[in-house]
Amino acid sequence: MNIHARSWRRQALVSIVSAAFLLAISARDRAAARSTSGSDAAVHLARIENGLIPASTVKGRPLPVAKLADRMRHFHVPGLSAAFVDHGTIVWARAYGFADVEAHRRATTSTLFQAASISKPVTAMAAMRLVQEGKLQLDGDVNQWLSTWKVPENQYTRDQKVTLRRILSHTAGLSGHGFAGYVAGQPLPTLEQILDGEKPANSEPVRVEATPGTAMRYSGGGYVVLRALLSDVTHSTFPELMEQLVLKPAGMTHSTFLQPLPDSLATAAATAYQADGRPFEGRFHVYPEMAPDGLWTTASDLARFAIEVQNEYAGTSSTILTQATMKEMLTPEMMQHDLAFFTEAPGMRPFFEHSGSNFGFFCDLFAYKESGGQGIVVMTNGNNYRLMYEYIRAVAREYDWPEFTPHEFVSMEVAPATLASYAGTYQAPDIGSIRIEYRGRRLFLHADGMRIESEQMLPESQERFFIPTDTVPFVFEKDATGKVIGLTIQYPNGPVEAKKVS
């Protein structure tokens, strides 16, 4: 595409989106105020805000509850925005804390947050729209539609190809789990430089590293390929096509895929904060990949997106997709992942869900599939996901959702000498240093790489421990002599082993 034409179209889109934001903010704030002014909503919100609950509990002990304000301080999360969906409407929307602490700018329901990986299902809906229109196919080799860049062939693609269905379901075998973003003002790579891992890109090339269709491996890189595919087919810039295909039809007038965020919209954006409460350099990172991680939006706009998904699944709307196309999009492919979301396991009440994490932003969208079903969107501008899920568990408890029931552990007594033997420093791949401290006959976990400042470790057995803010077990490892040599963190998608170094 001509670079001058691309620049002109970007500026035109900036002007259109900026105008829409300015016109919508006051109206949406008034609507949000009305939605939380009813007595029922006020009662629910009061219980939620004063009833945050942890991920784990000890059997036989009262369920601990906490106030939102206290937990925001504890986790160093300055701001949180949430929107609750029921019967096809946003019943309440609420924002807490600060969008920018240094500027004393409070968070509102119109504050923009980075949606991070929730960008993926929004992008997936645009892809399915093009499938519905016959411009793409789910099961053809994507290279037949790609023109600006091609997926490099190798031994893994000899018999099986990268297809749109496999990209959407993370089964295409493509590399690139996620992206680090760029500090504001740094040189930004082009789409082709990102795909090929060429400077100034700070990520590895996107390549096929496993036979397509054989396993699920979460791939943000696959969605960068998808971005190229959608732009090649529509001959439009990615922000422009997303505005036309999804954002505008879904009523997401506070949303944009523009990266970097233009100055005219940056004043409405939340500043990203690190785990210790310090702001990130340049306020927030820029994500030029766009499709997997670049959406700026509000909790209310994502709630509108969830409502549109529910309505199309039920056949009461065909604004973007027909019921048949939406049902295909929400049909699980592998490991409870469909063509857009993570979804329910067999025997569970049908739902769709996706979380997101960019540096300094954590968010989650959860909703039941049926028309009129309930749902929640939570967005934060702190580098800690635990607060977000404590809030969601409070919502789930208030509205009787079983999916977020705290995990109940059975705790036991462990001799002080055994506890003391676990103290020390451990080193784990990708996580870094983990420090276990013994004080007051108790163990405490410190791990910056896990965003854990200080959490008490409770014993489930002599070697197996857990922390109240998570459900992941920590298992201490010993050699044949009984000496503590390591710690295994038993994540659901595979264990991480940490070696004791001191």
Q: What is the DSSP string of 241-275?
A: HHIIIIITTTT-TT-B--SSPPHHHHTTBPPPB-T
Interior/surface letters 346-368, b for 16+ CB within 10 angstroms, e for the rest: eeeeebbbbbbbbbbbbbbbbbb
Instruction: Tell me whether strands 79-86 and 89-100 are parallel, antiparallel or unpaired.
Output: antiparallel
CATH code of domain 410-500:
2.40.128.50
Question: Residue 288 and residue 282: Cα distance in Å, rounded?
Answer: 15
Question: Residue 187 and residue 268: Cα distance in Å, rounded?
Answer: 24
Asked if the peptide bond before residue 200 counts as cis, ω within 30 degrees of 0, the response is yes
CB 320 within 8 A of CB 340: no
Q: Count of CB atoms within 10 A of residue 272's CB?
A: 24
Angle at 273 between CA 271 and CA 277, to 5 degrees: 135
Question: Residue 181 and residue 119: Cα distance in Å, rounded?
Answer: 14
Tokens of residue 429, six digits: 């791949």
**Domains of the chain by residue range:** 3-27+74-404, 410-500
Radius of gyration over alpha carbons of the chain, in Å? 23
CATH code of domain 3-27+74-404:
3.40.710.10
Tokens of residue 238, six digits: 């990615």
- Nearest Cα to Cα of residue 344 among 401, 264, 272, 274: 401
- Nearest Cα to Cα of residue 287 among 120, 97, 108: 120
The CA-based dihedral angle spanning residues 463, 467, 470, 472, taken in that order and rounded to the nearest 10 degrees: -10
> Which residue is it, tokens 């096809």?
88
Stated as kind and residue range, the H or E segment containing 120 is helix 119-132
> Which residue is it, tokens 């791939």?
219
Quick one: pLDDT at residue 21? Answer: 40
pLDDT in tens, 319-351: 999 999 999 999 999 888 999 999 998 888 999
Longest dimension (CA), the chain: 71
φ and ψ at residue 310, rounded to 5 degrees: -60, -45
Asked if the peptide bond before residue 260 counts as cis, ω within 30 degrees of 0, the response is yes
- How deeply is 37 buried, as exposed, middle or buried, from its count of CB atoms within 10 A (0-12, 13-18, 19+)? exposed
Stated as kind and residue range, the H or E segment containing 41 is helix 39-49
Tokens of residue 286, six digits: 């820029």
DSSP assignment string, 316-350: S--SSS-HHHHHHHTS--BTTB-SSSEEPPTTSPP
The CA-based dihedral angle spanning residues 404, 313, 296, 278, taken in that order and rounded to the nearest 10 degrees: 0
What SS3 state is found at 470? coil
pLDDT in tens, the chain (502 residues): 332 233 322 333 333 333 334 334 334 443 443 344 446 899 999 999 999 999 998 998 899 999 999 999 999 999 999 999 999 999 999 999 999 999 999 999 999 999 999 999 999 999 999 999 999 999 999 999 999 999 999 999 999 999 999 999 999 999 999 999 999 999 999 999 999 999 999 999 999 999 999 999 999 999 999 999 999 999 999 999 999 999 999 999 999 999 999 999 999 999 999 999 999 999 999 999 999 999 999 999 999 999 999 999 999 999 999 999 999 999 999 888 999 999 998 888 999 999 999 999 999 999 999 888 999 999 999 999 999 999 999 999 999 999 899 988 898 999 999 999 999 999 998 889 999 999 999 999 999 888 888 899 999 999 999 998 888 999 999 999 999 999 999 987 789 999 999 9
Residue 400 amino acid letter: D
pTM for this predicted structure:
0.87
Quick one: pLDDT at residue 7? Answer: 32
Question: Residue 327 and residue 165: Cα distance in Å, rounded?
Answer: 14
- Nearest Cα to Cα of residue 141 among 163, 166, 167, 165: 163
The residues with which 18 forms a beta bridge, in sequence order, are none
- Nearest Cα to Cα of residue 172 among 220, 124, 116: 220
Tokens of residue 75, six digits: 């986790």
CB 356 within 8 A of CB 108: no
Sheet with strand 342-343: strands edge to edge = 105-106, 89-100, 79-86, 375-380, 361-368, 351-358, 342-343
Quick one: pLDDT at residue 491? Answer: 86
